[in-house]
Structure 1
């Protein structure tokens, strides 16, 4: 009889999405197996934009500071036609940013991956390189998987399988989920180069009659990413390799002047796709990241969306594996993430077509439209902030999904929203912190706002310790002038109260104006399928 290996979770693909999934599961006490067909970690930069929402999740895990030390903040964008500036947005002009990271952090993808690989290594969860998925057979109880490592075939029985294996996902193919969409016309190029004396604060987009070119600063010593569409005569050249000499005339034609490039680090040409999986889950298998959705690099949404997929799914899957939640909660992963993916595909597709697919006779009108639009936005800080929130994925919410239960008055923060970043004065420790810092322990956070008696507070504390001793953390913020912004955001008056249940991924699950712990029990048990019991056994 063949030897069979067993695991609760098999993650296929060790890119940013798969690594984030593994790191999140470890955070919740689940030890996954993660494989990748490559011989080892990537050494190329690939995706370079890490948005504020991803940084918030990495901060929750204690990984944001090491990543910030390795990259460069980008504080806005500038549109140009040659040397003529069409418009500019400066994120530093936001009066009250909605995040502790009011910029786009530019860092090579391999650095982000290394940070996550190091976290896995610290938790004795190494990536099994040179191991590829061959087949999956699944039913409602188990997924039987065949893997190949060089010449060795391994058989595994897995409770769950995560497909994080990119646009050509073997997991997606094995479970028969279609990948609907199409490639964009033409081929595109990426080049990482060194440019002397260029602006390091802003991303530059050149909109000429000859085509589109993006220039993004990252790293130190004048390192930049170039991105553009190859002309038709360069699309079908015999060799798949491309040299900077091939694109140098294109770059300078679109920029309108000679670009002082002193060194070339990496260059590639490729097709772009707009695709989305018909489903994000089937029986025991889930798709995340590029295995579930791919779109253009405009806005740097791809890697960041995959990181959020992982954060959304991991706590739910860990809750099921640890026997605390009913498996029905897993159905909310596609219900929450598929609408976000569709919206992102729509937005990036429109932006990309404006940049690259406008007929030549309409270009002056296009440029005028973009110039007027940017200048309109730049006139008011609140408009800049709204655009930044959208780019940085801070405005993603799950208000219409089943896990969002809003039983409160007011039009401020709603159940399903991302927990807002709000500085606070901690009355207990007499220190300054923020709401996100209160979410750094794995598990749920129960936030009590308003004026509550010590007796009532003591009762709530006892209830949390008895019912959710390791899974829920209690924080109380009494009404005070120091924390007025928090109470205004949640629509709490000086004599009012509010209970806010924050999910492990820092989205809000439940809000109520009444301080009644039985309502939280009802939410946990009826909405999440929570199981309270003394001895913790695994229920799959």
Structure 2
């Protein structure tokens, strides 16, 4: 296999990732952490300086922690504890401080800073990142993907075992695959301004200000600036039309919140439209899609970048089993596509907050006690579990036997979440290279060894105990086999058999011929759960 320095192209690679945004770089880090040979290419010459995505939620912070990059990320961001919703006469808070995570908060951090942290981490892990390279197309041949790339000095063909399109909403990889990208475009312009605020906002809280003519978010940024953005434009603006500062100030001022939403001076002005779209498929042969290349959703709750990070984690462990000396079943990638497409559809559902904003307006404007009570109940129903859903800590994929390709995942919350195949295990630090068998908290060591001996586990399965909190997510005590991405592969019966068996366990066992002697780390003092 031909090799060169890490910032130059190679002619052969295990995984070629097109796109060096947050999702592509996270995938690169996840792959390199598993020792997978990886090349990331990017059309642009450098990181785009524009602040696009901003929020990094708890589930993503756990992924940065596993990569050893959380502290570097937090050093560039600002910690946020809640989202406040303001109307004229009403205030409601969405609190993130009581969740099942070591990091019960979210960060506001400009996307370029996220990309810088990930790019440094990727290179430190031995990854190759080449900018100024344009994807031109690909074809499959003899168990490989031949990818045509255009550089400043000419065209190059790179042979990869797998191709991943992480090249954003206008993905050329998706277009090359001929995949539809159906959905909707919101029929209004969103306005955006960043700069120094006239009135100092709360530094630990992002906010939504809701008036009769629209709503905007106010997001504190780590450098003392704020972002004000939302659907308040009087009309749909021409794509190429310039947004003037006075126009922005006047339009936002019509919401009636005075100096709170005014800037002393803008550093950036923009307008855009919001799309909700979902690719027909996330896998075609040896090519896969991640992040915005496969799905778009409303900016409410700051979900887009976090959903891309979850795509990366879900894909990386599967690709690791299909590269190097691994002989994994490619059907693992069909499960990636099925699960993450369902998750993207569920995220789009949770970010549809217009009914909630209308309920808040109604609660503020109600003229009698009965109407006020009804509107307040509607608000509380809309807020219930929303912080948990946006944190992505309680996601559950539809089980294979329950999914005809149209089923949604469930974003879930701490009250309704249950451990079943496809469910995320809260407060669990997954072993990136191995499955983990979590035994009930009071399992004697001898019994734990017996379960491991009869369960037909994947090789080198790590053995640990559930925490009491994790056990509470089960309807009855049972061992739980957890995948390397932190999701349940199977809930085992008392005899070690899978009472609810997921496809991932079947594929892993088929791939390895796993047996009891392959288990490692019989640590019943708590293991890898936190």
Superposition deviation, residue 398 in structure 1: 1.6
**Cα distance in 1 for residues equivalent to 2:300 and 2:186:** 13
1:137-536 equivalences under 5 Å are 137-138=139-140, 141-195=143-197, 196-221=199-224, 223-229=225-231, 231-232=233-234, 235-236=237-238, 240-259=241-260, 261-322=263-324, 323-348=326-351, 350-352=352-354, 365=362, 368=365, 376=377, 386-401=385-400, 412-421=418-427, 436-437=428-429, 439-455=430-446, 457=448, 468-469=459-460, 472-476=461-465, 484-491=468-475, 498-514=478-494, 516=496, 526-528=506-508, 530-532=510-512
Superposition deviation, residue 51 in structure 1: 1.4
Aligned residue in 2 for 1:433: none
Aligned residue in 2 for 1:21: 27
Q: Per-residue CA shift, 1:52-85, capped at 9, x if unaligned?
A: 221122222222232223222222233333xx24
Superposition deviation, residue 353 in structure 1: 7.0
Q: Which consecutive residues of structure 2, in runs of 5 or more, have no partner in the other structure?
A: 1-8, 404-416, 515-530
For the residue of structure 2 that corresponds to 1:336, the secondary structure is: helix
**Cα distance in 2 for residues equivalent to 1:373 and 1:159:** 57
Superposition deviation, residue 217 in structure 1: 1.7
Superposition deviation, residue 146 in structure 1: 0.7
Pick closer, same or farther for the CA change 1:446–1:320 going to 2, 3 Å. Answer: same
Give the TM-score, by structure 2 length: 0.81
**Cα distance in 2 for residues equivalent to 1:197 and 1:522:** 51
Conserved in 2, the CA contact under 8 Å of 1:313 and 1:333?
Answer: yes
For the residue of structure 1 that corresponds to 2:424, the secondary structure is: coil
Aligned length: 487
Q: Which consecutive residues of structure 1, in runs of 5 or more, have no partner in the other structure?
A: 405-410, 422-435, 478-482, 535-540
For the residue of structure 2 that corresponds to 1:235, the secondary structure is: coil
**Cα distance in 1 for residues equivalent to 2:71 and 2:383:** 25
Superposition deviation, residue 451 in structure 1: 4.6
**Cα distance in 2 for residues equivalent to 1:487 and 1:525:** 21
Conserved in 2, the CA contact under 8 Å of 1:4 and 1:154?
Answer: no
Conserved in 1, the CA contact under 8 Å of 2:136 and 2:149?
Answer: yes
For the residue of structure 2 that corresponds to 1:527, the secondary structure is: helix
Matched, 1:41 2:41: no
Superposition deviation, residue 346 in structure 1: 3.2
Pick closer, same or farther for the CA change 1:401–1:265 going to 2, 3 Å. Answer: farther
RCO higher in structure (CA 8 A, sep ≥6): 1
Give the TM-score, by structure 1 length: 0.80
Conserved in 2, the CA contact under 8 Å of 1:276 and 1:294?
Answer: yes
Superposition deviation, residue 524 in structure 1: 6.8
**Cα distance in 2 for residues equivalent to 1:504 and 1:7:** 23
Pick closer, same or farther for the CA change 1:4–1:33 going to 2, 3 Å. Answer: closer
Pick closer, same or farther for the CA change 1:59–1:181 going to 2, 3 Å. Answer: same
**Cα distance in 1 for residues equivalent to 2:487 and 2:497:** 20
Aligned residue in 2 for 1:113: 115
Superposition deviation, residue 511 in structure 1: 1.3
Aligned residue in 1 for 2:92: 88
Q: Per-residue CA shift, 1:142-173, capped at 9, x if unaligned?
A: 22211001241001222111011011100011
**Cα distance in 2 for residues equivalent to 1:90 and 1:363:** 13
Superposition deviation, residue 412 in structure 1: 4.5
Superposition deviation, residue 192 in structure 1: 1.6
Superposition deviation, residue 174 in structure 1: 0.7
